[in-house]
Amino acid sequence: MRLGKFCVVAAMTAAAVALAPSAHADVDTDFADELHGYGIYGQRDYNGWLAKITCRRLGNGLDSSTEKSAEFLSHNLPRGTSTAQTWQFLGTAINTYCDDLMPRLASVAEPNH
C-alpha cells in the first residue's frame, strides 16, 4: 500500500514539473531578440558566449572598466558595428547575464565620470 501511494505521489510530482511553464524559454534567445531590436545580428550562440565572456572579464577585473569591456567587444563584434551598438550590446549583456555589475555600467552615465 505504501509503495502504491508513493508511486502516485511521484507520478503527480513528475507531471506537475513537466507541465509547469518555464520562466524563460531560453536566456540566449531572449538576449538575441533584444540585440535584434538594436540592429545587432549574428549567431545566437556566439553572441551569448561573447556576452558571458564580457561579464566574466568585467567581474574578475580583467577589464578594469566598462570602457575596457566596450573596447574588447569592439574587437569581437562584426565589422561595421557602431559605437552605439557596442554599448547597447554591453548594456544588454550586463542586464541579461550579470546584473550584479549594473552599477559599473551606470557609473559611465554619471556626470563627472
CB 40 within 8 A of CB 56: no
pLDDT of 29-79, one tens digit each? Answer: 999 999 999 999 999 899 999 999 999 999 999 999 999 999 999 999 999
- Buried residues in 37-66 as b, exposed as e (16+ CB within 10 A): ebebeeebeebbebbbbbbebbeeeebeeb
Model pTM score: 0.76
**Cα angle: 66, vertex 53, 21; to 5 degrees:** 110
pLDDT at position 25, please? 67
Helix (H) or strand (E) holding 113: none
Instruction: Count the alpha carbons within 13 Å of 13 in the hemisphere toward its beta carbon.
Output: 6
Mean pLDDT of the chain: 83
Three-state secondary-structure class, residue 65: coil
CB 55 within 8 A of CB 96: no
CA distance 20 to 22: 6
